[in-house]
Structure 1
Amino acid sequence: MTADVVAQDEQAMPKGRDLYVVLGALMLAMLLAALDQTIVATALPTIVSDLGGLNHLAWIVTAYLLAATASTPLWGKLGDQYGRKRLFQTSIVIFLVGSALCGLARDMTELIVFRALQGLGGGGLMVLAVAIVGDVVPPRERGRYQGLFGAVFGVASVCGPLLGGWFVDNLSWHWVFYINVPIGILALLVIAAVLPSTGERERHRIDYLGTVLIVGWAVGLVLATTWAGTRYDWLSAPIVGLVVASAVLIGVWLLVERRAAEPIMPPRLLADSVFSLGSAISFAVGFAMFGALTFLPIFLQVVHGVSPTLSGVHLLPMMLGMLVSSIGSGQLISRFGRYKIFPVAGTPIIALALYLCSRLDENASTLSMSLRFALLGFGLGLVMQVLVIAVQNAVSYRDLGAATSGVTFFRQIGGSFGVAVFGSVFSNRLAAHVEDLAPVLPPGFDPSAVQGNPQLLDRYPAEVQQGVLHAYAQSIDSVFLWAVPVAAVGFVLTWFLREVPLRATSQTRDYGEGFGAAPTVRSSRHEMERALSELMRKDPKALELYERLGARSGVGLPAGSVWALCRIAKDVTVTGRELAERAGVAIEHGRPYVDRLVDAGYVRRRDGTLAITGSGRAVAERLFTARREGLARHVEGWSPEEHPELADVLARLAEASLGDEADGEILGPGPEPTGRRA
């Protein structure tokens, strides 16, 4: 990799307004996909009341989660292989078609199928948007911009339930899905007009069979947990058959993954204790989080009679608690380098919060509920990001991307199971409690209709009202009580989680992981570029950085001349005016620094054009090497000498981060002018 190739890559990237327009469209598309995991939560009671099918309620959430989780590895690798722009546009179209069809759904079966289609597109939106950032943003700035994309997940987590409730109250539940269409079309048009078809192409052996098998065993187990105890007995032939078939598919999947050229999840990862324990804990966290998000709105709207919008407001303490602890734990880990304490503390907090939620009833105060929801969110935030850090820190470089994806994969699968199990428990317990109420209920009374319109109870005697509300409260209490053992198992597992001394790259925060809103698929290369980019943001000020590099390389030049030499070496030839514009100074102000290079024979000046000489290129290579060695200290233990790809990442970032756009500080008061003219 030569400096001029790096410079050409940078020149192909959008600049200024075009860059911000592209990033805005990408963030908008990702926001839509992330919102659709949480926005339906507060609309679920109304949807079930309108379409019927209380027993299938969980599948409205589960279908989206499973489709998005299973499809993200395919989108990621297809994007690497065929280019991301067209695939990103394709994923937007699929998502919009799914959204429109969801809004038009006439029954629960149609809605579930269309939600799966929507999830298929949503998986592409999330993984490709993050990948495209690497195509359009210079390496030194990627950490900053990817941090903005991580914040999108936080916004989606906080605003999703609130927006869903607002649409139900002011329009209809159909608009929870319709709203995606105009916004998505806007993002599609902007991407088509502004996003360049850039990015390197990388050949892959795509693991289609592994993907199909994952979907097979996940759907089989989720169906078993959904139907057991409701449609069929736990030991009935259909349930036993689903469990056995899923177990067989898991066995076949492991065999296929062992032989696949590029498996979705290398089986060797499952033998790593940190990864396997981290994934198991992540499963438990996803189980609790998505289950709570799905059934708390039902409790609030039915048992406490609040509007869908207000039920979203009531969930804000949970989201804010998750936000605070996620950001706070990340900062503490970066400062002290210790991470095990957070899941050890977070999982019992989750278990306690779930138990306290199981004690809520129709008489609970708003303050009491808010404190319990905030406690649950606080516990979740302490665990989610830390599990990603733990596995990234423990695995080898070749498994870095797969390990990161694997932990988020198990969290999403845990969410699918959590929603399914919670749904089964809720339906089963509600049916039992309603049966107990049969003597006092009027003929033909349908308790599920209360979910969409709690005011229906107003027409019945107080005895009926209190009985139905108590039945709902008890049923949802059972849901949270069943989740307590899952969180408790997660707590026990955290004690066996081995704490490995934290690498520098593992101390960088990825807020997208902290909020747990989306499955992640990044290669080891992309993961390392993100971490190093974040670490480069902590570099000393530009003036000090170039002074250090000059001294370390034995180059007797001021910082401004070092910067100019790196820039000219990357451009090969550049006019004095263009160089001054890049430096952010007037051409007269920067001339003395270039004069030094001309006097030393590093740069040749002719008719206002500056060109690198052979000796100048040799000195620039010394500077690039010093920068590369400095970055290599951040990846100590990753063995770049054993991984050519990692060595290439270091070389690219070293060259790309020197001689980039300056703000005028580097070419501050410097050497005396030599009298030469540009």
Structure 2
Amino acid sequence: MNHRQVLEALSGLILGMFVSMLASTVVSSSLPVIIHDLDGDQTAFTWVVTATLLTTAISTPVWGKLADLFNRKFLYQLAIVIFVLSTAAAGFSQNPEMLITFRAFQGIGAGGLAALSQVIMADILSPRERGKYMGLFGAVMAVATVGGPLLGGVLTDAWGWRWNFYVALPVAIIALILVQKTLHLSPQQRRKVSIDYVGIVLLSAAVSLLLIWVSIAGTATGFPWNSWQTYVMVGGAVVATAAFIIVELRAKEPLVPLSMFRNRTFTLAVVASISTGIAMFGASVFLSQYMQLARGATPTQAGLMTIPMIAGLLVASVVIGWVISKYGHWKPYLILGGILLIAGSYTLSTIHYDTNFALVSLYMFLLGAGVGMTMQNLVLIVQNTCKPNEIGVASSGVTFFRSLGGTVGVAVMGAALAAKVTDLMKDRLPELGKAIMSLGDKAAYWQAQLQSGAMPKVSDMPHALRVIIEDVYAQGISHSFLIAVPFAVVSLVAIVFLPNVSLNRMTNTERMHAGEADFATVSVDEGMQVLTATRSVRVVAGVDAASGAAGAVDEAPGSSAR
């Protein structure tokens, strides 16, 4: 395929990913307003994000397994339909619980789009060529990530936050048509399939119990850390994880083939992906919250203020993707990305409500560049070393652990933020009391707002109260970013020890055909050796059996000349 044919084939995939990213990011700048309007608290805010990440993580390996068994084009179209319909339904939410439910269904579609786009790219592009096209995907994702919060902020300020959930529908219809018209894949060999349903249930149970425990334990509306609920949830997660491992070892078609962990590249890439997920999803969630709750920005302003992070992601993914494709060297850029992840996470843990915004922008750029250098390239190097018939499950495996890392990271960071804010609010009760009393006839209204436990809308607050709340949330959010630092260090260590395997120039389809050709050659050679050993054929005059060159042969008794 020439460059134009590749772009035509990828156009539907790119637009599908754009829809996925747009529908996910369009609500990021308006989420504090949404939770405020639905009377939700910090736990609800965290779970609106975590629900999507959780179902994305759980469904990603399922979609990857299905991609190795069924028509990949149809699966991709199905993922678009599930994602967009659930996104549109979320626009009708009347309470946080309803919103969380539809966001969970949204994650199922997002998992399919993330996993299948990587698998389909491997079908039509070699790892060496895939770098620059992954950079193109990164650029589109960056545009959606920049445009999403801006568009969401404008829609929220102009017509209300519900329009955030409807905006992706027309784009999704165009994406479906493009995929149908431009994406043509070689038919896969039909075979009897077996879906690991027990593994799906056990994996869902293990991850869900862990996240629910992290989100609720230790909160004012939850239960203490040292309680019977903790023992039940943690114990249940451990048992479900052990059962999942046993089932995967025995399953005919395992959801996550544990044998893949024998591949050193896959194992280390998984470890590195977990930290990338924490940095990527944690930043997208809590930076928007920082802009609105710690700096009093409106949704539109918050979208504008997060541009430096997206700029870092855009520049790094496009430029590094092109460089890797041109020169074939990937490891130095992954190491640099790991260093930038550490730098970005640590510096963001030092921000306050009055930190110079130029410094905050620099910190965001560093984190974005680290994510841009590592996110897609970790999938790339795994696809480069895995077997062609395992490309789906290998790609989705890395994506799964990245989503899982992001899910756990957001849950832990959200729980740390909620606990920190609660403690700081208690410490500053005297100041809050004085500020409220100075508001005159509006004192009762603002006291009721704070006592409700709902997420505040800081941009509407009086200055005396706003300064205190901004400082409290700034300290809480910077504290939550500190949690990401040790994970970033582990990620860098894993990247350093990745085997430096050169990128090959064959597509996944070509590798499969080459494998079949090698098998056929070996079979012919073995057959000739058997015939020679049994004296059915005697090679006497330099006959080249593999090439069929002419030569003299003695025929076995009873045979006839041809």
Instruction: Output the TM-score relative to the length of structure 1.
Output: 0.66
Residues 32, 455 of structure 2: 8 Å contact kept: yes
Deviation at 1:172, TM superposition (A): 1.7
Q: Residue 34 of structure 2 aligns with which residue?
A: 47
State the one-letter code of the partner of 2:367.
Answer: L
Alignment coverage as a number of residue pairs: 503
Residues 299, 473 of structure 1: 8 Å contact kept: yes
Residues 158, 319 of structure 1: 8 Å contact kept: yes
Residues 89, 102 of structure 2: 8 Å contact kept: yes
Q: Residue 669 of structure 1 aligns with which residue?
A: none
Of 270, 278, 287, the residue aligned with 1:279 is 270
Residues 25, 148 of structure 2: 8 Å contact kept: yes
Deviation string 1:264-287 (CA, Å, 9 cap, x unpaired) is 321122243332222112101211
Q: Residue 310 of structure 1 aligns with which residue?
A: 301
Q: Secondary structure at the match of 1:211?
A: helix
Residues 344, 494 of structure 1: 8 Å contact kept: yes
1:219 is the counterpart of 2:208: yes
Deviation at 1:373, TM superposition (A): 0.5
Tell me how far apart the structure 1 counterparts of residues 338 and 73 of structure 2 sit (CA, whole Å). Answer: 40
Tell me how far apart the structure 2 counterparts of residues 381 and 134 of structure 1 sit (CA, whole Å). Answer: 20
Of 224, 235, 248, the residue aligned with 2:239 is 248
Tell me how far apart the structure 2 counterparts of residues 139 and 347 of structure 1 sit (CA, whole Å). Answer: 25
Tell me how far apart the structure 1 counterparts of residues 46 and 156 of structure 2 sit (CA, whole Å). Answer: 19
Tell me how far apart the structure 2 counterparts of residues 381 and 89 of structure 1 sit (CA, whole Å). Answer: 26
Of 454, 458, 463, the residue aligned with 2:458 is 454
Long gaps (5+) in structure 1:
1-9, 509-524, 534-627, 633-638, 648-678
Tell me how far apart the structure 2 counterparts of residues 183 and 82 of structure 1 sit (CA, whole Å). Answer: 26
Tell me how far apart the structure 2 counterparts of residues 193 and 276 of structure 1 sit (CA, whole Å). Answer: 37
Deviation string 1:207-258 (CA, Å, 9 cap, x unpaired) is 2222222222111221122123222322322223222211111111111111
Q: Residue 489 of structure 1 aligns with which residue?
A: 490
| Greater RCO (Cα-Cα under 8 Å, separation 6 or more) | 2
Q: Residue 466 of structure 2 aligns with which residue?
A: 465
Alignment of 1:537-552 (within 5 A): none
CA distance 1:390–1:180, change in 2 (3 Å): closer
Residues 217, 223 of structure 2: 8 Å contact kept: yes
Residues 118, 395 of structure 2: 8 Å contact kept: no
Of 502, 508, 519, the residue aligned with 1:528 is 508
Residues 302, 450 of structure 1: 8 Å contact kept: no
Tell me how far apart the structure 2 counterparts of residues 228 and 484 of structure 1 sit (CA, whole Å). Answer: 23
Q: Residue 480 of structure 1 aligns with which residue?
A: 481
Residues 33, 123 of structure 1: 8 Å contact kept: no
Tell me how far apart the structure 2 counterparts of residues 644 and 200 of structure 1 sit (CA, whole Å). Answer: 19
Q: Secondary structure at the match of 1:174?
A: helix
Q: Secondary structure at the match of 2:254?
A: coil
Deviation at 1:307, TM superposition (A): 2.1
State the one-letter code of the partner of 1:362.
Answer: Y
Deviation at 1:102, TM superposition (A): 0.6
Of 266, 287, 291, the residue aligned with 1:300 is 291
Tell me how far apart the structure 1 counterparts of residues 101 and 274 of structure 2 sit (CA, whole Å). Answer: 24
Tell me how far apart the structure 1 counterparts of residues 452 and 22 of structure 2 sit (CA, whole Å). Answer: 26
Deviation at 1:422, TM superposition (A): 1.1
Q: Residue 208 of structure 1 aligns with which residue?
A: 197
Alignment of 1:81-96 (within 5 A): 81=69, 83-84=71-72, 87-96=75-84
Residues 47, 452 of structure 1: 8 Å contact kept: no
Q: Residue 345 of structure 2 aligns with which residue?
A: 354
Tell me how far apart the structure 2 counterparts of residues 74 and 430 of structure 1 sit (CA, whole Å). Answer: 38
Q: Secondary structure at the match of 2:461?
A: helix
Tell me how far apart the structure 2 counterparts of residues 31 and 57 of structure 1 sit (CA, whole Å). Answer: 24
CA distance 1:325–1:84, change in 2 (3 Å): closer
Deviation string 1:641-678 (CA, Å, 9 cap, x unpaired) is 66679x9xxxxxxxxxxxxxxxxxxxxxxxxxxxxxxx
CA distance 1:234–1:394, change in 2 (3 Å): farther
* Greater mean deviation of Cα atoms: 192-201 or 203-212: 192-201
State the one-letter code of the partner of 2:17.
Answer: M
Of 265, 282, 285, the residue aligned with 2:256 is 265
1:229 is the counterpart of 2:218: yes
Residues 65, 416 of structure 1: 8 Å contact kept: yes
Tell me how far apart the structure 2 counterparts of residues 423 and 249 of structure 1 sit (CA, whole Å). Answer: 24
Q: Residue 121 of structure 1 aligns with which residue?
A: 109
CA distance 1:224–1:472, change in 2 (3 Å): same
CA distance 1:319–1:452, change in 2 (3 Å): same
CA distance 1:91–1:349, change in 2 (3 Å): closer
Long gaps (5+) in structure 2:
437-446, 524-562
Residues 302, 451 of structure 1: 8 Å contact kept: no
Q: Secondary structure at the match of 1:216?
A: helix
1:503 is the counterpart of 2:502: yes
CA distance 1:328–1:205, change in 2 (3 Å): same
Tell me how far apart the structure 2 counterparts of residues 233 and 174 of structure 1 sit (CA, whole Å). Answer: 36
CA distance 1:107–1:434, change in 2 (3 Å): same
Tell me how far apart the structure 2 counterparts of residues 344 and 197 of structure 1 sit (CA, whole Å). Answer: 35
Q: Residue 528 of structure 2 aligns with which residue?
A: none
Alignment of 1:396-411 (within 5 A): 399-411=390-402
1:34 is the counterpart of 2:21: yes
Tell me how far apart the structure 1 counterparts of residues 456 and 154 of structure 2 sit (CA, whole Å). Answer: 14
CA distance 1:285–1:188, change in 2 (3 Å): closer
Tell me how far apart the structure 1 counterparts of residues 467 and 142 of structure 2 sit (CA, whole Å). Answer: 38
Q: Residue 653 of structure 1 aligns with which residue?
A: none
CA distance 1:177–1:448, change in 2 (3 Å): farther
Tell me how far apart the structure 1 counterparts of residues 268 and 316 of structure 2 sit (CA, whole Å). Answer: 22
1:158 is the counterpart of 2:158: no
Tell me how far apart the structure 1 counterparts of residues 87 and 76 of structure 2 sit (CA, whole Å). Answer: 16
Tell me how far apart the structure 1 counterparts of residues 67 and 498 of structure 2 sit (CA, whole Å). Answer: 35
Deviation at 1:46, TM superposition (A): 0.8
Q: Residue 312 of structure 2 aligns with which residue?
A: 321
State the one-letter code of the partner of 2:151.
Answer: L
* Greater mean deviation of Cα atoms: 93-102 or 326-335: 326-335
Q: Secondary structure at the match of 1:41?
A: coil
Q: Secondary structure at the match of 2:296?
A: coil
Tell me how far apart the structure 2 counterparts of residues 255 and 642 of structure 1 sit (CA, whole Å). Answer: 35
Tell me how far apart the structure 1 counterparts of residues 380 and 334 of structure 2 sit (CA, whole Å). Answer: 11
Percent identity for Structure 1 against Structure 2: 35
Deviation at 1:150, TM superposition (A): 5.5
Q: Secondary structure at the match of 1:309?
A: helix
Q: Residue 574 of structure 1 aligns with which residue?
A: none
Q: Residue 163 of structure 2 aligns with which residue?
A: 175
Q: Residue 55 of structure 2 aligns with which residue?
A: 67
Tell me how far apart the structure 2 counterparts of residues 397 and 194 of structure 1 sit (CA, whole Å). Answer: 24
Residues 99, 114 of structure 1: 8 Å contact kept: yes
Q: Secondary structure at the match of 2:164?
A: helix
CA distance 1:185–1:57, change in 2 (3 Å): same
CA distance 1:386–1:165, change in 2 (3 Å): same
Tell me how far apart the structure 2 counterparts of residues 50 and 240 of structure 1 sit (CA, whole Å). Answer: 35
Tell me how far apart the structure 2 counterparts of residues 313 and 319 of structure 1 sit (CA, whole Å). Answer: 10
CA distance 1:457–1:145, change in 2 (3 Å): closer
Residues 325, 378 of structure 1: 8 Å contact kept: yes
Deviation at 1:186, TM superposition (A): 4.7
State the one-letter code of the partner of 1:67.
Answer: T
* Greater mean deviation of Cα atoms: 61-70 or 123-132: 123-132
Residues 48, 452 of structure 1: 8 Å contact kept: no
Alignment of 1:377-416 (within 5 A): 377-395=368-386, 399-416=390-407
Tell me how far apart the structure 2 counterparts of residues 483 and 453 of structure 1 sit (CA, whole Å). Answer: 27
Q: Secondary structure at the match of 1:116?
A: helix
Deviation at 1:481, TM superposition (A): 1.7
Q: Residue 103 of structure 1 aligns with which residue?
A: 91
State the one-letter code of the partner of 1:383.
Answer: T
